[in-house]
A and B are shown apart, each in its own frame.
Chain A
């Protein structure tokens, strides 16, 4: 099976712009979670989508939003970018059910805001 893919891998934007990141989960996985990773902060949970519905949400401002399509692909949007949004954005997919529900991560999108 192909792994989790994310596009683009690198992105440079300026303050005030908006950005859309894409994630394609492992075939058959219905859950997609998004994380922000910055040095020293660890992984900060943004939100999780399961079967096109947001199932869980972290403590990020409303500028961060997402959606999931019927084929389980997911997009994350950040509007009005701030310098502090520079980070590695990771998505992880899982089957979304069962006791273990191991998450498998994509390679990430490195966003730089200038």
Chain B
């Protein structure tokens, strides 16, 4: 079967750094997405990785290791508005998106 694992919940402090991990076992791989979803709102696109390595975009970075079936999302200089769920999704060999259950990130002052 296809599976994506993320921690259910994480807590971090405003101004700090947090790393949200995602591991996957899928039928093939055509890319990995990270989305942010605030409570009661739609998911919004954060990043896309298809090659190994780190992609940096402002305070957010995403890393991929295809050989390990592993990705992480790194959030720096945390702000209260970063409190949200972070969803990891993988494109399988049929270009179907397989989604993780999401990681709820709680930011404390």
- Given A42-B100, A43-B87, A99-B50, A56 contacting B94 (CB threshold 8 A): yes
Whether the Cβ atoms of B31 and A33 lie closer than 8 Å is: no
Whether the Cβ atoms of B45 and A41 lie closer than 8 Å is: no
A108 at the interface (CB under 8 A from B): yes
When C-beta atoms are compared, the residue in chain B nearest to A57 turns out to be B96
Main DSSP-derived SS at the B contact region: loop
Interface residues of B, count at CB 8 A: 20
A103 at the interface (CB under 8 A from B): yes
When C-beta atoms are compared, the residue in chain B nearest to A101 turns out to be B95
Choose from A40, A56, A105 the contact partner of B43 (Cβ within 8 Å): A105
Choose from B50, B94, B97, B102 the contact partner of A103 (Cβ within 8 Å): B97
Measured CA separation A105–B33 after assembly (Å): 14
Whether the Cβ atoms of B31 and A100 lie closer than 8 Å is: yes
Q: Which residues of A contact B45 (CB under 8 A)?
A: 102-104
Choose from B33, B42, B48 the contact partner of A90 (Cβ within 8 Å): B42
When C-beta atoms are compared, the residue in chain A nearest to B102 turns out to be A42
B101 at the interface (CB under 8 A from A): yes
B60 at the interface (CB under 8 A from A): no
Seen from chain A, the residues whose Cβ lies within 8 Å of a Cβ on chain B are 4, 33, 35, 40-45, 48, 56, 58, 90, 99-108
